[in-house]
Amino acid sequence: MKVILVADHRGYKMKETIKEWLKEEGIEFIDGGCNSEESCDYPDYSIKAAEKVSKGEFDLGLFFCHTGQGMVISANKVKGVRAVLVFKSEIGKLSKEHNNANVLCFPAGYIELDEVKSAILGWIESEFKEERHKRRVKKIEEYERK
């Protein structure tokens, strides 16, 4: 399992905390920035990281900004990315099972750290339920190819 983490200035602190937790959990990751709380533009980080997920360089992207919305919008512009806004721990699990999501975006200003950790573990421990949801994800992929 390879993970890429990115944040803007408003998600920086949460990203840094999650990095330490990932180390403790033994989960391999790369930090794709940002590297401070100095104001920056989320698309500069989310699009580059989403491209790496789309190319298969990473299994999962963890993106952090204040509301999570900008990260979701920009990441989903990248072909092959299925980014979701995670606002409760159960969403991590369900986004894998139902949508085969490969990027989890967190609203750092509105979610507790324990919820984030639980959502990440839920995603990691879950499997895509192809028998029920494959046709739906396939429709998205077919549209992307147009």
Active site residue 105: no
Helix crossing, 130-145 with 89-99: angle to 10°?
A: 80
**How far is the C-alpha of 141 from the C-alpha of 22, rounded, in Å?**
30
Picking from 63, 9, 78, 74, the residue whose alpha carbon sits closest to that of residue 32 is 63
Whether the CB-CB separation of 76 and 85 falls below 8 Å is answered with no
Catalytic residue among 9, 40, 98, 133: 98
**Marked catalytic residue, from 9, 34, 40, 65:** 65
CA atoms within 13 A on the CB side of 137: 19
Sheet containing 60-65: give its strands across: 28-31, 2-7, 60-65, 103-107, 83-85
**Which token pair is 79?**
């072909």
Q: Does residue 66 have an active-site annotation?
A: no
Catalytic residue numbers, as ranges: 65, 98
